[in-house]
Amino acid sequence: MRPISVSRTIDAPRERVFEYLSDVANHAEFSDHYLSDFRLERVDSTGLGASASWHMMFPLARMWGDAAITELDPPHLIVLEGRAGRIGRIAVRAEYRLMRADSGMTRVEYRFETDSANPVDRLKQAFGMRGWLARKSRRALGRMARVLEEGTPSAHAVRPAAG
């Protein structure tokens, strides 16, 4: 699937946005409207190697996937890479680029792409997945902006189990 790119300006310092996004547990908080069954894959949910699995709810191609943080360049870049689809045959890559904007705000550019060698997977993705994912990603950035600007986590944030 060709990459999708969406962006949003958030009224929060870049360092705070970077810290929030570099914790994969926070991603469930703003993307649960299209990703369900979000599960952390290791105890430490921050930094390089932090990973999670999820279930994408696209109507024509529901699929399981996972992604791990593979690159961090504070406070500019966070890259997640993983696999999705049947037996993990679709490579996925998500990238958050953070840039300073006016008056201490942060411009977040999100890019998501998949690479599938299987013709069946490519056909499923061709039936509206790119547009659907762009709309869901735009909404996710809006939800993330509300959390960071208002400072109140949603009820969907992943929390560690009480021990």
How many CB atoms within 10 Å of residue 86? 12
pTM for this entry: 0.88
* Residues in contact with 154: Cβ distance below 8 Å, sequence separation at least 6, in sequence order: 29, 30, 143, 147
What is the reported pLDDT for 62? 75
What domains can you pick out in the chain, each with its CATH number? 4-150 (3.30.530.20)
Among 55, 56, 48, 58, which Cα is nearest to 81's? 48
Which two tokens mark 130? 């790119």
Separation CA 134–CA 35 (nearest Å): 14
Beta strands in 11-133 (DSSP E): 35-40, 51-56, 63-73, 77-84, 90-100, 106-116
What is the reported pLDDT for 38? 93
Among 106, 111, 112, which Cα is nearest to 144's? 106
Which two tokens mark 38? 């979000």
How many CA atoms, within 13 angstroms, populate the side-chain half-sphere of residue 38? Answer: 20
What is the reported pLDDT for 152? 66
Q: What is the pLDDT along the chain (163 residues), one digit of tens a residue?
A: 789 999 999 999 999 999 999 999 999 999 999 999 999 999 999 999 999 999 998 887 778 999 999 999 999 999 999 999 887 888 999 999 999 998 889 999 999 999 987 887 777 777 778 889 999 999 999 999 999 999 866 555 554 444 4
